[in-house]
Amino acid sequence: MIWLWVSGVVEGKGERIDPRFFHPQPSTFFKTLYLSFVMDITQFVEMSLGHWKSQRSAHHLAFRHFEEITSEIEIKPLDKNDPAVIQLCQSYQIDPAIVTHPFGMSWHGESDWDEQEILKGSTILIPVPDRDRPAQGRLLRDQGYAETIPSIGHYSFTEDGTFVLLTEYDRATAEEKIWFASPNIRFRVSLIKPSSGSGVVTASFSSEIRALS
């Protein structure tokens, strides 16, 4: 069951929790209530579906520049038989039958670095869970995070439900961590490092709020 955190009231399938029991620390309350189990890719994708408003702060260390980005993100489920899903699987010689919960993500926004530029794009993501270790697996993308080329990353979940994704590119390595503070609030930390492994090129933090209307 996926719950909605709305105005201090947690609502579920025909159920309500009295606002008097609203916890002052959503993150702690959420982990206690929802993460008594080990998060897996199915639950993570299902919780991520929807429309999100994002505020991202990025430090570009190579340029000594700080950037603020506001954007809107749409995450939608895709069918395993979608031609784009099958094509991406075939490009990595992966049987589409073993993938789970493929989804598409699109975004558009603007940056204070270049106020004239509209940031927009889309990508397809396909989780391929490890058969023996459900908290780990691979993630296929038709467009990467650090480089706009197809990529394959390795994901895992920590004990507190944080999604960790490591992706190696030709010239860089990207590390992303995503976790939920509540069903409608999630956070993302991203690091981009040179392929040599020395130092950090870009570090960013994002807060993402689900749009409920």
Helices in 114-212 by DSSP H: which ranges? none
Distance in angstroms between the alpha carbons of the first and the last residue of the chain: 21
From the number of C-beta atoms within 10 Å of its C-beta (0-12, 13-18, 19+), residue 88 rates as buried
Instruction: Give the tens place of pLDDT for each residue, 182-205.
Output: 999 999 999 998 877 678 889 999
Residue 116 confidence (pLDDT): 66
Q: Residue 28: its pLDDT value, please?
A: 47
- What is the percent of the chain where pLDDT is above 70? 77
Report the C-alpha gap between 60 and 202 in whole angstroms: 5
pLDDT in tens, 109-161: 998 867 666 788 999 999 999 989 889 999 999 876 555 678 899 999 999 99
Alpha-carbon distance of 50 to 54, in angstroms, equals 13
| Alpha carbons 46 and 197: distance in angstroms, whole number | 33
- Separation of alpha carbons 104 and 183, rounded Å: 20
Maximum C-alpha span of the chain: 53
Q: Give the pLDDT confidence of 153-181 residue by residue, as tens digits.
A: 999 999 999 999 999 888 889 999 999 99
> 71 with 107: CB under 8 angstroms?
yes
183, 209 contact by CB (below 8 A):
no
> Tokens 């031609």 label which residue?
83
pLDDT level of residue 66 (50, 70, 90 thresholds): confident
- Domain ranges in the chain are 38-210
DSSP-derived 3-state class of residue 160: coil
Please give the pLDDT value at position 9.
33
- What confidence category does residue 210 fall into, taking pLDDT thresholds of 50, 70 and 90? very high
Percent of the chain with pLDDT over 90: 58
Q: What is the pTM of this model?
A: 0.78
For residue 70, give the H/E element and its range: strand 65-77
Query: Taking the domain 38-210, which CATH number applies?
Result: 2.40.128.20
What distance in Å separates the CA atoms of residue 90 and residue 82, rounded to the nearest whole number? 12
CB-CB neighbours of 14 under 10 Å: 5
| Residue 29: predicted pLDDT | 44
Banded pLDDT at 18 (limits 50, 70, 90): very low
pLDDT at 82 over 90: yes
Tokens of 61: 């260390």
Distance CA(97)–CA(174), nearest Å, equals: 28
